[in-house]
Amino acid sequence: MAKIERKYLAHYVNADTTGSSPEYVRLGKDLEEYSPEMSAEVETTKNILGETSINISSYEKTGSAEPYYAEKDDPLFDRLQAIIDGNLVLDDLKTDVVEVKLWETEQSGAYPATKEEAYIEITSYGGDTTGYQIPFTLHYTGVKTEGTFNPQTKTFTEGDGE
Per-residue pLDDT reduced to its tens digit, 129-140 = 999 999 999 999
Phi, psi of 84 (to 5 degrees): -65, -50
Q: Which domains does the chain have, with CATH numbers?
A: 6-158 (2.40.30)
Per-residue pLDDT reduced to its tens digit, 29-62 = 999 999 999 999 999 999 999 999 999 999 999 9
3-state secondary structure 25-69: EECCCCCCCCCCECCEEEEEEECCCCCEEEEEEEECCEEEECCCE
Model pTM score: 0.92
At 1 the pLDDT is 86
